Amino acid sequence: MTTYHQPVLAQASVDILNIQPDGVYVDVTYGGGGHSKLILEQLGPEGKLFGFDQDADAKANALDDPRFQFVPSNFRYLKRFLRLYKVEQVDGVLADLGVSSHQLDVAERGFSYRFDAELDMRMNQEQEVSAQDVLAAYSAEELQRVLGEYGEVRNARTLAQHLVKERKVRPIRTIQDLLSVMDPVIRGQRLRYLSQVFQALRIEVNDEMGALQDFLAQSIEVLKEEGRLSVITYHSLEDRLVKNYLKAGNAEGKYDKDFYGNIYRPFKVLTKKAILPTEEEIRENSRARSAKLRAGERKKQ
């Protein structure tokens, strides 16, 4: 499992769920099963765990345990698939967002600038649109939005216009194609710049922000009273969205009031400040560096 993906903030994210031995839990980003294994260690024979993952490679890691059910789906369909298994509400939900170590380390998946391969970046290999398609079809304005919003690329407009100009001369099909096209317009620290561009493309290809918003909205519905939500994020856009849902139950973080002026707060926030990985964990796993853990408990109505 650790060769597929080394889970970040594993014990902290599971401990904050306050696992009940006979409870029902969901790990919506199963990956290599690291978090799921920790949950199962605390479940009794009557407990149940569902593991969601849209990446077909993750299914090979499915735990052989009668208390575990693997669900080959994006977590944006959380409510639909729980109903399929006749589950209306659960005691806890855990999400470890972003890209897995496996996806980054397998060259042909096209997630990392460290290798040369087709520009893919699809977490679900059955979906049609890849990073190659985004770079081939998006207008300069659309590319600027993606690069600026999802990657916070400092010269997003310049890069977007350059990409559109260069693709008329030669198609951008591989990682090496993209790197060579970008070289003249890279600003600042090169590896940081590349990371921002690749992050932006990956988020767009997989509609990660839309999927996260769908998931967070459904998590409020599927959690029992006093059920808990535990989410690990890796960049500011994800973290802000999770923080807003925990605070106010919506993407904007704006409080809704009823006729009498009572403020709607679906969660009791358990993490006033995000929980961060220790220096030791960062030394052991550099991908933990940007991780933040936030959690909330569903309030009694």
Q: Say how far residue 131 (Cα) sits from the centre of its chain.
A: 17
**Model confidence band, residue 106 (pLDDT cutoffs 50, 70, 90):** low
CATH of the domain at 165: 1.10.150.170
| Domain shared by 89 and 29, yes or no | yes
Q: Return d(Cα 241, Cα 237) in angstroms, integer.
A: 6
**Structural domain contains residue 181:** yes
Contact 226, 298 (CB under 8 A): yes
Per-residue pLDDT tens over the stretch 39-55: 999 999 999 999 999 98
**Structural domain contains residue 171:** yes
**Structural domain contains residue 172:** yes
**Structural domain contains residue 77:** yes
| Domain shared by 22 and 78, yes or no | yes
Per-residue pLDDT tens over the stretch 246-262: 999 999 999 998 888 88
Name the domain boundary from 153, 188, 205: 205
Number of structural domains in the chain: 2
pLDDT of residue 1: 40
**Model confidence band, residue 125 (pLDDT cutoffs 50, 70, 90):** confident
Average pLDDT over residues 186-210: 95
| Domain shared by 213 and 291, yes or no | yes
| Domain shared by 281 and 266, yes or no | yes
**Structural domain contains residue 2:** no
pLDDT of residue 5: 60
**Structural domain contains residue 3:** no
| Domain shared by 230 and 188, yes or no | no
**Structural domain contains residue 108:** no
Contact 124, 162 (CB under 8 A): no
CATH of the domain at 83: 3.40.50.150
Average pLDDT over residues 271-277: 96
Name the domain boundary from 187, 205, 223: 205
Show the DSSP H helices in the chain as ranges.
Answer: 10-15, 34-42, 56-59, 78-84, 101-105, 131-137, 140-151, 156-167, 175-182, 190-205, 208-222, 236-248, 279-284
| Domain shared by 92 and 216, yes or no | yes
**Structural domain contains residue 198:** yes
29 is in which domain, residue-wise?
Answer: 10-99+208-298
